[in-house]
Amino acid sequence: MHDSKTITESYSDMALHFSAKEFVTRRRSAVQAMVERGLDGMLHFRQESMYYLTGYDTFGFCFFQCLYLGADSRVTLLTRAPDLRQAEHTSDIEDIRIWVDGPDRHPVDDLQDILQQHGCRGHRLGVEYDAHGLTAYNGKRLDAALEGFATLVDASDLVGRLRMIKSAAELQYVNRAAELADRALERATELTRPGAFEGDILAAMHTEIFSGDGDYPGNEFIIGSGPDALLVRYSSGRRTLSERDQLTLEFAGVFRHYHCALMRTFIIGEPETDQLSMYDAVRDGMAAGLEALKPGAPLGDVFDAYRQVVDPRGYGPHRFNACGYSLGATFTPSWMDWPMLYHGNPTIAEPNMVLFPHMVLMNSETKRAMALGQTVLVTQDGVKRLSRVPLDLVVR
């Protein structure tokens, strides 16, 4: 059922997923933030920023490309020829420049020409240095090319702070992503049993998302059983579930690049006593963390509340040093977004933040795993779960 048409049918023939008004509002907010920092322009290298500000949708950021945004709200995109039509079709950018592959010229030279045309000589320009789209090699070339031309200031977080708070239009996509995540989890639950092949479970989860008009995630789904249930990164190779086993899943429903993640550890066969105790700890830790997640409170409070539950039960050595992060429209290589939930994080929780608290215990001595994660929306007085699937322990 492809019900996403009701969301996007009023837009233009281009693949723009937000209204012109929405993009204008975002760019005005970015310009205001620039002015407050004393910046005359921004050099965007994060694909998330380009998508947020213009709708531009590509994986071409693996090569050099840059979106310039001036204090006058003018934008210019510098990219490669394969992304010309990509930008024309998916964004509202009118000024698109192409750099030509060759041995004797680097795209930073083209970028300097663009900045010269925008009157940026002697200006203060913010740069998204903390970006997968700007390698160390290209960053050094950028600094060298613009030395003496303009003053470059690290402003990697400028748009990220704007993206942290979701608009009403964005939340439509977040909710749709949550629906797809639930469908994937329910399908995985149906298929999980002794003798099931991990590859079949993984394939079914992706099918639910793609058949619902969803997208590829920002990183691979995590799936692991047996001793690999303790892994929280994707690794190659699938196995068949045994009569007594454990299966950890961490994945996301994705719609228009907006992610809604879930995490579970399933028990196959009769659960052991320590597995039940681990589940009780992550369940209670989740409840404590969500109780602490309120507007006006530092995000570090979420981790502290979780830690105060699990550590007295002896699970301190088996937990991580963070228990979640923000979610939004993200691109490869990761769906993890800023900020994270760790001790001392002073970032204040605000309404319309979308966060993924996940409480994870991995005991390398006993080879036991237990994880519980869900996506929540910060509201005016607390949080709202975006998943309709219960947090109960799944035993198959």
pTM recorded for the entire structure: 0.95
Is the pLDDT at 9 greater than 90? The verdict is: no
Is 392 among the domain residues? no
Query: pLDDT by residue (tens digit) across 62-98?
Result: 999 999 999 999 999 999 999 999 999 999 999 999 9
220 and 350 in a single domain? The answer is yes
Per-residue pLDDT tens for 238-267? 999 999 999 999 999 999 999 999 999 999
Same domain, 285 and 147: no
Instruction: List the domain range (segments joined by +) for residue 296.
Output: 166-385
Residues 140 and 197 in one domain: no
Q: Is 394 part of a structural domain of the chain?
A: no
* Per-residue model confidence (pLDDT) at position 103: 87
Q: What is the mean pLDDT of residues 224-234?
A: 97
Residues 181 and 135 occupy one common structural domain: no
pLDDT tens readout for residues 136-149: 999 999 999 999 99
Of all residues in the chain, what percent carry a pLDDT higher than 90? 95
Domain end marker among 107, 139, 162: 162
Give me the pLDDT at residue 13, please: 59
Round the average pLDDT of the chain to a whole number and report it: 96
Which run of H or of E encompasses 277?
A: helix 273-292
Is 393 part of a structural domain of the chain? no
131 and 170 part of one domain: no
For helices 198-211 and 168-191, the axis angle rounded to 10 degrees is 150
* Shared-domain flag, residues 125 and 253: no
Q: End-to-end CA distance of the chain, in Å?
A: 29
What are 184's two structure tokens? 């994937």
Residue 15: band (very low, low, confident or very high) from pLDDT cuts 50, 70, 90: confident
Residues 228 and 146 reside in one and the same domain: no
Q: Convert the pLDDT of each residue in 275-322 to its tens digit.
A: 999 999 999 999 999 999 999 999 999 999 999 999 999 999 999 999
CB 248 within 8 A of CB 265: yes
Sign of the CA dihedral with 374 first, then 376, 382, and 388 last: negative
Whether residue 2 is predicted with pLDDT greater than 50 in this model: the reply is no
Last residue of one domain, picked from the residues 162, 182, 197: 162
Beta strands 124-127 and 222-225 are unpaired
More confident residue, 2 or 270: 270
User: What CATH number is associated with residue 60?
Assistant: 3.40.350.10
Q: Helices 300-310 and 273-292 sit at what angle, rounded to 10 degrees? A: 150
Q: Are residues 248 and 155 in the same domain?
A: no
Q: Does 174 share its domain with 152?
A: no
Tell me, what's the pLDDT at 8?
Answer: 43
Same domain, 135 and 188: no
Residue 329: give its domain's CATH number: 3.90.230.10
Are residues 157 and 176 both part of a single domain?
Answer: no
- Cα separation, 381 vs 122, in Å, equals 47
What total number of domains does the chain contain?
2
Last residue of a domain, one of 99, 134, 162: 162
pLDDT tens track for 352-365: 999 999 999 999 99
Q: Has residue 148 been placed in a domain?
A: yes
Predicted pLDDT at 278: 98
DSSP 21-69: HHHHHHHHHHHHHHHHTT-SEEEE--HHHHHHHH----SGGGS--EEEE
Q: For the segment 357-386, what is each residue's pLDDT rounded down to a tens digit?
A: 999 999 999 999 999 999 999 999 999 999
Q: Are 292 and 298 in contact (CB under 8 A)?
A: no
The angle formed by the CA atoms of residues 55, 71 and 81, to the nearest 5 degrees, is 40
Residue 329 lies in a domain: yes
Q: Which amino acid is at 63?
A: F
- pLDDT (mean) for 100-119: 94
Residue 3 has pLDDT above 60, yes or no: no
- 200: phi then psi, degrees, rounded to nearest 5: -70, -40
Tokens of 203: 């394939």
Asked if 150 and 171 sit in the same domain, the reply is no
Token pair 């301190």 is at which residue?
A: 316
